[in-house]
Amino acid sequence: MFPQDFPIATRWPAQDPSVIQLYSFPTPNGVKASIMLEETGFAYEPHLVTLADSDVKSPEFLSLNPNNKIPAIIDPNGPDGQPLGLFESGAILIYLAEKSGKFIGETASDRAKVIQDRKSVV
């Protein structure tokens, strides 16, 4: 499956499906994901998903995040070479930190402390 094959892409099509697709709105949680993408240096394409029911409760958005909350991402270069759809800001922050090798610590103990204090991640 490619990012453009995710149902959400019918409503918010990717201009460049080779980069991370960010579906978000400028709320505190939404901004965390975009800041992390900037800080880790990953190329990404933002898609504005408003908090209106017509966006977050649309079948296209719910296909990626059944909890109908922003942010959500699709990484076309996910683990094992497969695209990965992911939602919940904390999960996205940890995923991007681990993928980049930044902001997560080098040991299991460091990672546990960073995750405990999520403010350290961003």
- Residue ranges per domain, the chain? 3-120
Question: Look-up: residue for tokens 């709105």?
Answer: 25
At 35 the three-state DSSP class reads helix
User: Quick one: pLDDT band at residue 115, thresholds 50, 70, 90?
Assistant: confident
pLDDT at residue 26 above 70? yes
- Check residue 39 and give its pLDDT: 96
What single letter denotes the amino acid at residue 40? T
Going by pLDDT thresholds of 50, 70 and 90, the confidence category of residue 2 is low
pLDDT at 112 over 60: yes
Tokens matching residue 32? 């965390």
Strands 20-24 and 84-87: unpaired
Which CATH code for domain 3-120? 3.40.30.10
Q: Kindly tell me if the per-residue pLDDT of 30 is higher than 90.
A: yes
Contact (CB, 8 A) for 85 and 6: yes
pLDDT tens figures, 38-78: 999 999 999 999 999 999 999 999 999 999 999 999 999 99
Which amino acid does the sequence have at 16? D
Q: Is the dihedral of CA 33, 38, 39, 43 positive or negative?
A: positive
- 3-class DSSP assignment, residue 86: strand
Global confidence as pTM? 0.89
What pLDDT is stored for residue 122 in this prediction? 45
